[in-house]
Amino acid sequence: MPSILGLSGSLREASYNSGLLRAAADAAPDGTTIQIGSIRDVPLYDGDLEKAEGLPAAVRRLQDQLDSADALLLVTPEYNKSIPGVFKNAIDWMSRGDGLKIFTGKQVALMGASISGFGTVLSQNAWLPVLRGLKMQVWAGGQLTVSRAAEKFSDDGSLTDDDTREQLRKFVADFSDSL
């Protein structure tokens, strides 16, 4: 039974990307679970803090979740045509200590939602060198980019668009089948 850790790169309460992740968890095929992790409590990376106190509890929790998962699903916003800093920061923290070992060889898929007409294509592409550096296996089955998200999500960040929901269902099922 495949287990996937899903992370949204947004801290916003009504985030389209967090809503997309929740919809992905709901769309997971029978026998597949998507555990939704949170980057909210991960502090800014500080080598002095790490040296003095070790890894923060929020980072250790994410590392444990990733270690017990078969794969990782990154749901990335696109800020200024690239990776959101808060999301990259969380992944950087997760790679500390023995963290690099939990990334190595693990399969990862990317998706994201944006208000622009291009979705999160640039952000997803910007993640590729990072994921290669972590020695992850980027799923070659495709990317899901949701453009014009304001038209496809409710004010609370819930996915409302049936066509997008069907694309998401297929994306998650295909990713799950690859594990």
Q: Give me the CATH number covering residue 41.
A: 3.40.50.360
Q: How many domains does the chain have?
A: 1
Q: HEC states along the chain?
A: CCEEEEEECCCCCCCHHHHHHHHHHHHCCCCCEEEECCCCCCCCCCHHHHHHHCCCHHHHHHHHHHHHCCEEEEECCCECCECCHHHHHHHHHHCCCCHHHHHCCCEEEEEEECCCCCCCHHHHHHHHHHHHHCCCEECCCCCEEECCHHHCECCCCCECCHHHHHHHHHHHHHHHHCC
Instruction: Look up the domain containing 24 and give its range.
Output: 3-177
State the average pLDDT over residues 16-31.
98
What does the pLDDT look like over 100-122, one tens digit per residue? 999 999 999 999 999 999 999 99
Place of tokens 């003095």: 52
pLDDT digits (tens, 9 = 90+) for 123-152: 999 999 999 999 999 999 988 999 999 999
To the nearest whole number, what is the mean pLDDT of the chain?
97
pLDDT (0 to 100) of residue 142: 86
Terminal Cα distance for the chain, rounded: 9
User: What local confidence, expressed as pLDDT, does residue 141 receive?
Assistant: 94
Q: pTM (2 decimals)? A: 0.97
pLDDT at 155 over 90: yes
pLDDT of residue 139: 98
pLDDT in tens, 64-98: 999 999 999 999 999 999 999 999 999 999 999 99
